[in-house]
Amino acid sequence: MSSDDGILRLIEVYVPEADTCAFHLDESGARILDFVNDASEAECDRYLNAALDVKVIPYGGLLYVCHAFESGSWNDAPVNYYSDEVLYQNLIDSQPKQLALTIEVIDLAKKNRIACREARLNEEMTATLLRVLQAQRKRGLDELMAIESLGEPGEMLHLISQPGIPEIQEIKVDSDARTVQVRADMTPPREKNEPRARWILRSLERFPTVDFRLYSEMAAFTIAVGEKPEWRHCFFPVGEVIATELERTEDQLRQQLIELGADPDENEDYIQETIDGFGDQTYAFTNFAVVLNWHPSQGVYRFDQGILKNLYLTTLPIHLDPTILTRLPEYCVYVETPGLATENGECLHGFFAMIESLAWDDSDNSEYLSYCYLSLDHGPPDRLGTSRVLRLNLSKPTLKDAVETLSEIDPDSGLWRSRLDLQAWITPLLSQLLYICSTEPEIRSGSDPQRQPTRPIPKKTRKGYKLFPPTSATVWECGWRTGAAIRFDRSRQEALQSAMGEGRRSPRGHVRRAHWHVFYAGPKDSQTREIRLHWLSMINVNLNMKSDRPTVIRPVKQDSVINPS
């Protein structure tokens, strides 16, 4: 093939190196230029006749048109709007359904064209290309060029790979570490009357790297083969989630290396270095694990306003065995906290709480190490913020000792740091959890009063065991009897005082200092001795507890021995 002045001009403009490619847009249309050096006759024949595969890959605001000849590696051509703004605008205005694409192979040593192939992007890839080009123009040039300055795109394809392009809010480039952090708004609009916990769950589900279904299938498989998990009181413990996510990341890295034409076995150091770099993702994995445990049941616990203030101010039973928190009725609960704020003054909308108990060894009589994780939902009411994750060690003799182990995970390092300064602040949160775990709490569903919260397990179907998470959250009303009685008495007293004028008034119904009452059922030396916990706001003065409070009849165990403690 003879030399082409147009080819020489392109080489002067791009100053390419061998084994690189570029996207070029001119009056003749869209082209991909594939640069090689001293191609052999067999290579030239492959470029001309081998099967050709083309795809569009968007990530982090950047766009690549990737192509591969049969038995060859993928070549990634970066696409941007700033090569020629007029031609770019013409392309956007024309809105092609299937973009025609010419792929040319140019030999740098001989400075000539050795192959020219015609290709066409399908409708989906064409729409993606046009959409991302418009997003690039909106975002601007400086940040995108900063990302490209890091080197070959193939080195970074594993960082962010997702369908479509969300609106990018921030791009941080670390040239020394050769890393890119892209922050995008993945939050879906909040639905009418949707609890914030469900909003958080739907936001996480939009991330392509998050796979709730995987864990549902793992739980179903465990049931199907009759295996017994090494943990209790949770759907999946935090450590198991972190190990699974790191394993998934390694598998994805290996697959991406194969797609780029590299042998994973020859790049073990690179894979291990990348996996080690995920150490600072411990915070993200931990927060995901908490929401993952909420996913199977999706219970939102809403306390009656009539008792909430009293519950907030109730002194904790510091000598109580903290493992009573393992009685949470679901794997994870979301508790609303109206009126509370963080120690920094931010509005605290609620918190997720999950308990995990891990066996110390493989024996049947193994003791369990228990932790309580609290993921705080705080920030402006109209948007979701970054959650904070706290942890308590429940394998302590008393609740007081457990509170003294309070720690918070550092989002940057993934390390747990002591937060003894939050011991008093966390009291209202623990009071709500203790109420939910207490003996015979007042909990009902507004839509189905007979229903009670449970921990769902996979069900057997004709196609095997499957777990069916709910499609919406369930709001559980807590303390509804007591709250209704307080409101009824308040209105009765106000009506009575209005009728009597300024005469002698009867004492207003109220609740004297709420407190926790702990007692034990069963033989004192027995391992089956049961701790019973009641929150007592029942020391009432002139309080009509009959309002909206149905009679409940329960059988009494004749063999129980009650030993107050």
Secondary structure of 392-461 in the HEC alphabet? EECCCCCHHHHHCCCEEECCCCCCEEECHHHCCCCHHHHHHHHHHHCCCCCEEECCCCCCCCCCCCCEEE
Closest residue by Cα to residue 195 from 97, 104, 299: 299
At 90, the amino acid letter reads N
List, for residues 319-369, the tens digit of each pLDDT value: 889 999 999 999 999 999 999 999 989 999 999 999 999 987 666 656 889
CB count, 10 Å around CB of 218? 16
Q: What is the pLDDT of residue 250?
A: 85
Residues 306 and 304: their CA atoms lie apart, in Å, by 5
pLDDT > 90 fraction of the chain, expressed in percent and rounded: 29
Pick left, alpha or beta for residue 534 (phi over 0 → left; psi -120 to 50 → alpha; otherwise beta): beta
Amino acid 327: pLDDT:
93
Q: Name the least confident of 44-48, 234-238, 253-257, 285-289.
A: 253-257
The pLDDT value recorded for residue 565 is 29
Return the higher-pLDDT residue of 372 and 552.
372
Residues β-bridged to residue 23: 32
Which of 4-13, 227-236, 495-504 is the most confident on average? 227-236
Select the more confidently predicted residue: 439 or 330: 330
The pLDDT score that the predictor gives to residue 152 is 40
pLDDT of residue 182: 58
Name the DSSP class of 66: E
Confidence of residue 425 (pLDDT cuts 50, 70, 90): very high
Q: Between 347 and 256, name the one with better pLDDT.
A: 347
Band of residue 547 on the pLDDT scale cut at 50, 70, 90: very low
Three-class HEC string of 458-480: CEEECCEEECCCCCCCEEEEECH
Predicted pLDDT at 563: 31
**Percent of the chain at pLDDT above 70?**
76
Per-residue pLDDT, 137:
73
In which band, very low, low, confident or very high, does the pLDDT at 170 lie, cut at 50, 70 and 90?
low
Res. 12 pLDDT band, cuts 50 70 90: confident
Give the span between the Cα atoms of 296 and 372, in whole angstroms: 18
For residue 498, pLDDT beyond 90: no
How does residue 538 score in pLDDT terms, banded at 50, 70 and 90?
Answer: very low
Of 478, 459, 417, 450, the closest CA to residue 216 belongs to 459
How far apart CA 180 and CA 174 sit, in angstroms, is 6
If pLDDT is split at 50, 70 and 90, which confidence band does 261 have?
Answer: low
Predicted pLDDT at 403: 96
DSSP lists the bridge partners of residue 26 as: 29
Predicted local distance difference test score (pLDDT) of residue 434: 94
* C-alpha separations of 529 from 125, 318, 322, 433 in Å: 65, 20, 15, 22
In the prediction, which pLDDT does 184 show? 62
DSSP state of 31: E
Model confidence pLDDT, tens digit, residues 63-120: 788 888 887 777 888 886 555 678 878 888 888 899 999 998 988 888 888 888 998 8
Average pLDDT over residues 496-511: 60
Q: What is the mean pLDDT of residues 17-23?
A: 84
Average pLDDT estimate for 230-255: 89
Predicted pLDDT of residue 185: 67
pLDDT band of 8, cuts 50, 70, 90: confident
- Rounded-to-integer distance, Cα 443 and Cα 123, Å: 53
Please report, for the chain, the start and end positions of each structural domain, with discontinuous segments joined by +: 5-167, 202-478, 508-564
pLDDT recorded at residue 249: 83
Q: Rounded mean pLDDT of 307-318?
A: 88
Sheet holding 29-36, edge to edge: 20-26, 29-36, 100-107, 112-120
Assess whether pLDDT exceeds 70 at residue 559: no
